[in-house]
Structure 1
Amino acid sequence: MNLEERIKNSKTSLFKAVFPNTTNHYDTLFGGTAMQMMDEVAFITATRFSRQCMVTVSSDRIDFHKPIASGTFIELKGTVTKVGRTSLKVQVEIYVEQMYSQNREKAVKGEFTFVALDENKKPVPLAI
């Protein structure tokens, strides 16, 4: 399988409902919860791409464009955007949907960097 096919096959999508136990005092999704969900989707995407032990080494940038209200659905979409020798970058976007309408818009975008590790927790080349 070539690089483009691996990137395509590793794309990850996860849907969640935003319930009050995940929101802040403004009744919107707590930023830390959003970041945790994004890191999880990024990890799954990186691992599906590499099929190696991967760890997060940085969250390069996370931009919150729109608040995510309680009582909405969100879709987290992860895509590999860059592949290096031992590391790769994953972009994660969160889209928010109203439960009872067709309204959908991008709310959050972030990028995460992962490194492949061996059994001794040392960086190893990605198996490309």
Structure 2
Amino acid sequence: MRNEALIAKRMEHAITRVTRTVFPGRTNHHNTLFGGEALAWMDEAAFIAATRFCRKPLVTINSDRVDFKEAIPAGSIVEIVAKVVHVGRTSIKVQVDIFVEHMYDDNQHLAISGNFTLVALGPDRKPTPVLS
């Protein structure tokens, strides 16, 4: 049986925060953050959080229900927050939220959220236990 206190401690340590600016080169024809760019940022943050949790090679196998609640205009600051929310035998589920704040305003609010599942790989490139 896994040590729940150790898992909780690792989950807390693995929380990942990345801050970025939405420059025009990352936008679509509406001058808002391109969705594919947001997904790439979210996947990277999920990967970092999961890696910090288990310190093993990982691959993303699933992104689940990514909700684009609000368009993010060019010139915004975004904070990407990734948290491990579930640990399976060989997989880790990470919730990733993107918060937006306008450049000259202190208010920050949720714009995009989704879940990513990553699997730990052994030397044979096959799934291996996350915790060993």
Report TM bin, short chain: over 0.9
Deviation of 1:56 after TM superposition, in Å, equals: 0.2
Given the alignment of the two structures, is residue 117 of structure 1 paired with residue 89 of structure 2, yes or no? no
Given the alignment of the two structures, is residue 64 of structure 1 paired with residue 68 of structure 2, yes or no? yes
Aligned to 2:83: 79
Deviation of 1:120 after TM superposition, in Å, equals: 1.2
Residue correspondences, number: 128
Q: Percent identity?
A: 48
Q: When the two structures are superposed, what TM-score results if normalisation uses the length of structure 2?
A: 0.95
Given the alignment of the two structures, is residue 105 of structure 1 paired with residue 109 of structure 2, yes or no? yes
2:58/2:119 contact within 8 Å kept: yes
Q: 2:52 aligns with which of 48, 51, 68?
A: 48
Letter in 2 for 1:115: V
Aligned to 2:15: 11
Separation in structure 2 between the aligned mates of residue 126 and residue 33 of structure 1, nearest angstrom: 28
Letter in 1 for 2:24: P
Deviation of 1:48 after TM superposition, in Å, equals: 0.3
Structure 1: stretches of 5+ with no match in the other structure: none
Structure 2: stretches of 5+ with no match in the other structure: none
Aligned to 2:130: 126
CA RMSD of aligned residues (A): 0.9
Deviation of 1:127 after TM superposition, in Å, equals: 1.6
